[in-house]
Amino acid sequence: MINVDGSYKETESIGGWGFVIRDNSGDVVGSCAGRIEHCTDAMHAEIMATLQALTFATEASMMRIEIEMDAINVKTTLTTQKYDLSPLSMLIRDTKFLMLSEFLETRVAYQPRACNKVADALAKFGCDLEPGGTMLWPDGNPTFVNDLVVADVQSAHG
């Protein structure tokens, strides 16, 4: 399962993206964050987060993925033809192409923001990176989200 999120700072026209990859037990097996220059809106950041997560999953040879996000409009965009004529249409098409061409199975699901706190924190962190910056934690997560990870695992296990 991959949780993705984007963050947008309108006054600076920058965005951040973050994703966290979990195993079947909910434990984090990798995470990443990055900054987007010339970000146009929150949807731009959310789609970029999804594209970056899909790229990572492709490079990690993942074949079946479930992407969870707290942006219902992005879920709709990626699972229907809606928004295909928007200014973000090329980014949307690239993301859909990756979903359809690189994986045996792809599921996109909406989760409330309360269930996406780790990816949200990573996306906000991404906004604060240097221009063009990316941080990868290939075997886990950064320490600043440890409490959020523990809370997520505890809530998932009852």
**pLDDT (tens digit, 0 to 9) for every residue of the chain, 158 residues total?**
999 999 999 999 999 999 999 988 888 999 999 999 999 999 999 999 999 999 999 999 999 999 999 999 999 999 988 766 778 989 999 999 999 999 999 999 999 888 899 999 999 999 999 999 999 999 899 999 988 988 876 665 55
The number of beta carbons lying within 10 Å of the beta carbon of residue 114 is 11
Q: According to the model, what pLDDT value does residue 158 have? A: 54
CA distance linking residue 47 with residue 52, whole number of Å:
9
**pLDDT at res. 155:** 62
Helix axes 146-156, 117-127, angle to 10 degrees: 160
Q: Hunting for tokens 């950041």 — which residue is that?
A: 45
Helix boundaries (H) for 5-145: 42-59, 72-79, 89-101, 117-127
pLDDT of the residue at 114? 82
Domains of the chain are: 2-141 (3.30.420.10)
pTM of the model: 0.92
- Count CA within 13 A, CB hemisphere, residue 77: 25
| Beta sheet of 105-110, edge-to-edge order | 105-110, 64-69, 2-9, 14-22, 28-37, 134-137
**Residues shown for the chain:** 158
Q: How confident is the model at residue 84, as a pLDDT?
A: 67
